[in-house]
Structure 1
Amino acid sequence: MEPTVHAFSELFAQLGLPDDAASIRAFIATHAPLADDIRLEEAPFWTPAQAQLLREERIDDADWAIVVDQLNLALRAPAH
């Protein structure tokens, strides 16, 4: 069975956030850069449910872990 590849926008939809390209760019621009000493799921801008989802998907679901890691990297990049 082939692993499922999830789109970045699907993660935003799972988090209950707007998932169109402009909204995703705006979210990242608003919240980046995330300090190196803060774990992604512990960032202050997540609701408790969003933080739990990120924690679970990163640990329990390899299919989602890739896109969660992509979000982590995007939020660590310096804001432009």
Structure 2
Amino acid sequence: MQPPFHPLSELFDQLGLESSEEAIESFIERHQPLPSDTALADAPFWNDSQKRFLTESLADDADWAEAVDHLDARLRG
């Protein structure tokens, strides 16, 4: 069984961020490029809850892992 697909808008909702297409693009433009030696969850713009969610999503290979990977790639430019 395949995990559900979560678009970036749902990930942004989960992170408590504005999730319109314009808001997502603005967030990415504002925070990229993320340095290659910085893990996504260690970026300085996340709060503790967001960091925990991102870390757990990847560590547990959760339903959100693909969306988190997509955001990571977008932030790296």
State the match for 2:29 in structure 1. 29
State the match for 1:73 in structure 2. 73
Supply the distance in 2 between the matched residues of 1:13 and 1:61 (Cα, whole angstroms): 19
Deviation at 1:2, TM superposition (A): 3.8
Where structure 2 has 5 or more consecutive residues not aligned to the other structure, the ranges are: none
Aligned length: 77
Supply the distance in 2 between the matched residues of 1:73 and 1:35 (Cα, whole angstroms): 11
Where structure 1 has 5 or more consecutive residues not aligned to the other structure, the ranges are: none
TM-score by length of 1: 0.91
TM-score by length of 2: 0.94
Query: Please, what is the CA RMSD of the aligned residues?
Result: 1.0
State the match for 2:49 in structure 1. 49
In percent, how many aligned pairs have the same letter? 48
Write out the 4+ residue segments of structure 1 that deviate beyond 2 Å after TM superposition. Answer: none
Deviation at 1:60, TM superposition (A): 1.3
